[in-house]
């Protein structure tokens, strides 16, 4: 499977003062392929425990050139969480950073690492064989390429398997999308490459096409703007946080500076952008932000680089067979095999077949022009005393309060009253408000049964790298037990 456009002296990667050509990148990859051969790791399982860096990217490409299956550990995970991922993945080799400091920098040109051959190889091979649900007759295309772990935004993380054939099909279709990067593009990747949006959509796709990938060394608005001007960035990949940060920097420019700045095509993923943010870009900066919708299980599902349909995530990608389910309006996708390591409630197997339907749990509308619009999550709706409540409705109401910077609504199981609504709140500089006062204020917008029973102050609302709220992690951090959402 082709991962780099060529090995010429054309520029491939820029990170601060480090400029790497395709030839230099290919050389670094070749060195790591050699090390994998020496470790007898070809076509085996490689765990990458590295911070975002060119080093991580080289190891990904090398492992895939050697037909290895990889998983990448999010550097924000606790050591216990990492051990759980390792146990599920059963790697033969681990590539780990030597130094633990500075793991959370935006992006690093290089990090020190060590290759560890793991013990009990026979046991690991046996465990890996159980997970390898997709390898059929040893065919390279159907061999598993990566095991991803879902964000765990509403429940325990799922282990997801994708094979080389599905990656190739995704990239092939992505190249046909209007506005996609090509060999003349400069892609500014603000999202981590340890996650699919940054790795598969922004970085590896651009390198396959022959373009340049630019990485930030720090997330400072003035640096982002300077880099955009210096490198004539054509595509920007980010999430809501990045666009809020960039908007603050753009608002500091005078009218002449703003007019001289050629803004790139902007693409966001990980959830709908706040309407007020998209209005700022459209009305103040004359630039719309496109949307990409996807899942770890299948990659991108729809994309609208050109923001042709405001509020839409684009038209469904034609390489995936998808349709809207009649009974609940959620989008579902037909696959030839189950993408999960373990049985999941959102996978409907067809009788007597390995194929089935993947339920995205995203409720959608499809207009006459074929554009998808996200309307909510099926698991965002909970039952309180027999009455249906959408958690997003509670959050949207709370965010109207002048003192609230961020919030997250959840349900918690109580022994006496059953499911009860709780609201976690991050206050802004205006100060805290008494819980009883906020509950009374919410009654202006919500029915009594939708008012949270408890309001708890937290310092932050945890989010995934793609911008999704991690409800389960928030509950874990606050020492709550089971949750309904």
Domain boundaries, the chain: 20-162, 385-477
pLDDT of residue 385: 67
Could you report the per-residue pLDDT of 379-400, keeping only the tens digit for each?
Answer: 677 777 667 788 888 998 999 9
Could you report the per-residue pLDDT of 153-172, keeping only the tens digit for each?
Answer: 555 678 999 999 999 999 99
Q: What are phi and psi of 102, to 5 degrees?
A: 60, 25
pLDDT of residue 303: 97
Among 3.40.50.620, 2.40.128.20, 3.30.9.10, 3.40.50.12780, what is the CATH number of 20-162? 3.40.50.12780
- Cα Rg for the chain, rounded, in angstroms? 23
- CATH code of the region 385-477: 3.30.300.30
- Closest to 28 (Cα-Cα) out of 1, 9, 55: 55
CA atoms within 13 A on the CB side of 233: 27
- Closest to 61 (Cα-Cα) out of 91, 31, 98: 31
pLDDT of residue 226: 94
pLDDT of residue 359: 95
pLDDT of residue 131: 47
With the C-alpha atoms ordered 202, 313, 328, 348, is the resulting torsion angle positive or negative?
Answer: negative
End-to-end CA distance of the chain: 39
pLDDT of residue 190: 95
**3-state SS, residue 164:** helix
Please state, in angstroms and rounded to a whole number, the distance separating the CA atoms of residues 421 and 199. 37
Listed in sequence order, the residues at least 6 apart from 165 whose beta carbon sits closer than 8 Å to its beta carbon are: 141, 142
- Closest to 343 (Cα-Cα) out of 156, 471, 195, 476: 156
pLDDT of residue 174: 98
Strands annotated E in 112-169: 113-117, 144-149, 159-163
Q: What are phi and psi of 116, to 5 degrees?
A: -115, 120
Local mean pLDDT, 10-residue blocks, the chain (485 residues): 91 96 97 97 96 96 97 87 89 89 72 88 48 43 87 68 96 97 97 93 98 94 94 95 93 89 91 84 93 95 94 95 92 95 89 90 92 83 76 90 92 72 94 94 91 92 76 76 43
């Amino acid at each position: 499977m082709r991962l780099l456009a060529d090995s010429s002296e054309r520029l491939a990667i820029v990170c601060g003062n480090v400029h790497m050509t395709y030839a230099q990148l290919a050389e670094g990859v070749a060195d790591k392929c050699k090390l994998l051969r020496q470790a007898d790791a070809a076509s085996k399982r490689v765990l990458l425990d590295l911070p975002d860096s060119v080093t991580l990217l080289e190891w990904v490409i090398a492992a895939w050139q050697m037909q290895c299956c990889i998983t990448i550990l999010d550097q924000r995970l606790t050591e216990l969480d990492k051990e759980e991922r390792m146990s599920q993945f059963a790697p033969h080799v681990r590539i780990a950073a030597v130094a633990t400091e500075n793991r959370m920098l935006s992006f690093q040109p290089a990090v020190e690492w060590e290759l560890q051959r793991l013990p009990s190889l026979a046991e690991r091979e046996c465990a890996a064989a159980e997970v390898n649900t997709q390898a059929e007759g040893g065919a390279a295309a159907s061999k598993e390429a990566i095991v991803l772990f879902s964000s765990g935004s509403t429940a325990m993380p799922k282990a997801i398997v994708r094979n080389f054939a599905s990656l190739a099909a995704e990239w092939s279709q992505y190249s046909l999308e209007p506005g996609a990067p090509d060999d003349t593009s400069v892609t500014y990747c603000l999202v981590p490459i340890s996650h699919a949006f940054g790795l598969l959509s922004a970085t590896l796709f651009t390198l396959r096409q022959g373009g340049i990938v630019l990485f930030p060394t720090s997330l400072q608005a003035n640096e982002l703007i300077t880099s955009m001007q210096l490198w004539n960035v054509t595509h920007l990949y980010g999430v809501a946080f990045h666009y809020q940060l960039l908007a603050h920097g753009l608002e500091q420019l005078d009218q002449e500076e703003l007019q001289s700045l050629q803004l790139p095509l902007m693409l966001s993923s990980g959830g709908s952008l706040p309407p007020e943010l998209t209005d700022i870009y459209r009305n103040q900066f004359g630039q719309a932000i496109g949307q990409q919708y996807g899942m770890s299980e299948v990659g991108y599902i729809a994309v609208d680089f050109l923001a042709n349909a405001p509020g839409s995530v684009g038209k469904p990608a034609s390489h995936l067979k998808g349709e809207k389910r009649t009974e609940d309006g959620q989008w579902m996708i037909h696959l030839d095999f189950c993408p999960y390591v373990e049985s999941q409630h959102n996978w409907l197997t067809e009788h007597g077949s390995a194929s089935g339907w993947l339920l995205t749990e995203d409720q959608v509308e499809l207009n006459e022009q074929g554009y998808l619009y996200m309307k909510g999550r099926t698991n965002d709706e909970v039952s309180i005393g027999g009455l249906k409540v959408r958690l997003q409705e509670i959050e949207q109401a709370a965010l109207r309060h002048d003192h609230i910077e961020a919030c997250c609504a959840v349900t918690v199981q109580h022994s006496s009253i059953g499911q009860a609504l709780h609201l976690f709140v991050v206050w802004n500089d205006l100060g805290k408000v008494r819980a009883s006062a906020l509950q009374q204020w919410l009654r202006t917008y919500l029915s009594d049964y939708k008012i949270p029973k408890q309001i708890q102050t937290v310092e932050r609302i945890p989010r995934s790298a793609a911008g999704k709220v991690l409800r389960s992690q928030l509950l874990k951090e606050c020492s709550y037990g089971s949750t309904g959402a």
